[in-house]
Structure 1
Amino acid sequence: MIEINDLHKSYHMGSNSLHVLKGIDFSVKEGELVSIMGSSGSGKSTLLNILGMLDEADSGSYTLDGFPIKNLNEKIAANYRNKFLGFIFQSFNLINYKSALDNVALPLYYQGMKRSERVDRAAHYLEKVGLANWSHHLPSEMSGGQKQRVAIARALASDPKVLLADEPTGALDTKTSYEVMDLIQGINDEGKTILIVTHESDIAQMTKRIVNLKDGLIINDTAVEQVRAIANV
């Protein structure tokens, strides 16, 4: 599903250059649930941005579902993101003046889907995340856990190949974090490929594989015995 070979990325600040990724080799098979861990400055956010086609590597190769991701203009990159990827953010990134239903349906608008189909699909995914009765509520009327469930429904609505989650439990308390991870595990059980960036070891243990980054290099990549979140809720 994802193949990365010898990936390098530097950022230039005046006369200085910061080498953030220093030759990353990384692959993810379809249906995996992988966590990426590392301290601040390790390169995990840069790697996620490249995986999400929000940034581009200086050298190396990135292939997503058989498509080489290289030298894409913004229009093509946006089309690929919409086709292949769903994003889940720590801060939810919901539009405050739109209802849960409209937030979930928004990516489908950019795919050119008819409104009636958008509404039906958004309602389906809100039901899937347990928020069918909250479809007409605004984000300001919801708890953090509910907002993240809306964000997950939005990420799923376009049926992406891969979900990329950037600290999806970072703004939540422990109980709510585990409830969200239970939902993510269930989505993965259905076959969806999911990558999670996290700094929380207990969250990482709820995935099936932990990749550790340090100073722009992968120092450890280990399959783990998955802890089911529901046991801790």
Structure 2
Amino acid sequence: MIQIKDLHKSYHMGSNSLHVLKGINFNVKEGELVSIMGSSGSGKSTLLNILGMLDEADEGSYVLDGVPIKNLNEKVAAKYRNEFLGFIFQSFNLINYKSAVDNVALPMFYKGIARKERVEKARHYLEKVGLADWGHHLPSELSGGQKQRVAIARALASEPKVLLADEPTGALDTTTSYEVMDLIQGINDEGKTILVVTHEDDIAHMTKRIVNLKDGIIIDDSPVEQVRAKQYV
């Protein structure tokens, strides 16, 4: 599903250059649930931005579902993001003046799906994340956990190949974090490929494989015995 080979990325600041990714080799098979860990400055955010087509590597290759991701203009990158990827953010990134249904339906608008079908699908995905009765509510009327569930429903609504979750539990208390990870595990059980960026060791062990970055290189990439979140919910 994802093939990363010899990826390098530097950022230039005046006369200085910061080499952030230093030859990353990284593959993800379809249906995997992988966490990416690393301290601040390790390169995990840069790697996620490249995976999400929000940034581009200086060297190396990135292939997503058989498609080389290289030299994309913004229009093509946006098309591929909408076609291939679903995003889940720490800060939810919901539109405050739109209802939960409208937030979930938004990615489908950019796919040209008719409004009636968008709303039907949005309600389906809200039901899937346990919020069937909350579709008319605004984000300000929802708890943090409910907002993240709406965000997950929105990510699923475009029927992406891969879900990219950037610190999806970072703004949540422990109990709510485990509820969200239980939902993510359930989605993965259905076959969805998911990458989770996290700095929390307990959350990482709720995935099936942990990739550790340090100073722009992968220092460890190992399968782990998955801890099921449901036992804590």
Rounded to whole Å, the distance in 1 between the matches of 2:81 and 2:39 is 27
Any idea what SS the aligned residue of 1:111 has?
coil
Equivalent residues, number: 233
Rounded to whole Å, the distance in 1 between the matches of 2:15 and 2:97 is 43
Alignment of 1:27-42 (within 5 A): 27-42=27-42
Rounded to whole Å, the distance in 1 between the matches of 2:92 and 2:11 is 27
> In structure 2, what is the equivalent of residue 117 of structure 1?
117
> In structure 2, what is the equivalent of residue 181 of structure 1?
181
Two-structure CA RMSD over aligned residues (Å): 0.3
Rounded to whole Å, the distance in 2 between the matches of 1:83 and 1:190 is 19
Offset from partner CA, 1:133-169 (integer Å, 9 cap, x none): 0000000000000000000000000100000000000
Rounded to whole Å, the distance in 2 between the matches of 1:169 and 1:117 is 30
Offset from partner CA, 1:105-136 (integer Å, 9 cap, x none): 00100000000010000000000000010000
TM-score, with normalisation over the residues of structure 2? Answer: 1.00
TM-score, with normalisation over the residues of structure 1? Answer: 1.00
Any idea what SS the aligned residue of 1:21 has?
strand
Look up the equivalent residue of 1:140 and give its one-letter code.
S
Q: Please tell me whether residue 230 in structure 1 is matched to residue 191 in structure 2.
A: no
Any idea what SS the aligned residue of 1:98 has?
coil
Runs of at least 5 residues in structure 1 that lack an aligned partner in the other structure: none
Look up the equivalent residue of 1:96 and give its one-letter code.
N
Look up the equivalent residue of 2:125 and give its one-letter code.
Y
> In structure 2, what is the equivalent of residue 56 of structure 1?
56
Offset from partner CA, 1:59-116 (integer Å, 9 cap, x none): 0000000000000010000000000000000000000000000000001000000000
Any idea what SS the aligned residue of 2:152 has?
helix
Offset from partner CA, 1:20-77 (integer Å, 9 cap, x none): 0000000000000000000000000000000000000000000000000000010000
Deviation at 1:12, TM superposition (A): 0.4
> In structure 2, what is the equivalent of residue 144 of structure 1?
144
Q: Please tell me whether residue 25 in structure 1 is matched to residue 42 in structure 2.
A: no
Alignment of 1:147-166 (within 5 A): 147-166=147-166
Look up the equivalent residue of 1:181 and give its one-letter code.
M
Deviation at 1:232, TM superposition (A): 1.4
Runs of at least 5 residues in structure 2 that lack an aligned partner in the other structure: none
Rounded to whole Å, the distance in 2 between the matches of 1:13 and 1:232 is 46
